[in-house]
Amino acid sequence: MPKRTLQGVVVSDKTAKTVVVRVDRRFTHPIYKKTIRRSKNYHAHDENNEFKPGDMVWIEESKPISKLKSWIVIRGEHKKSA
C-alpha cells in the first residue's frame, strides 16, 4: 500500500527539526450541499530546519518519529520574499 502524501503550508518552525504543517481540504456538506473548508495541523520531520512559515511543502507518512511526529517533509517550495 502506498504512503499517503499531503500538501500544506508551514505555520510554525519553533521546535528543532520539526515543522507544523496546515493541510486544508474542501468537501461538499452532505445535507446543505455547500462547499466547506476544514484544516488540520500535522507535525512533520524537517531534518535540516530549512522550511520557514509560509512555505508550501509536501509531507509523507512514515513510522512514528516521536509522540506527535509521524510525517516527513519530502519536498517544498520556499515562499517568495517581496
Cell of 22: 496546515
pTM summary value: 0.89
Distance CA 70, CA 63 (A): 6
Q: Is the pLDDT of residue 82 over 70?
A: no
Q: Going by C-beta distance under 8 Å and a sequence separation of 6 or more, which residues neighbour residue 35?
A: 26, 27, 28, 29
Mean pLDDT of the chain: 95
Domain boundaries, the chain: 3-75
Distance CA 16, CA 46 (A): 8
The position carrying cell 509536501 is 58
Q: What is the CATH number of domain 3-75?
A: 2.40.50.140
Q: Is the pLDDT of residue 61 over 80?
A: yes
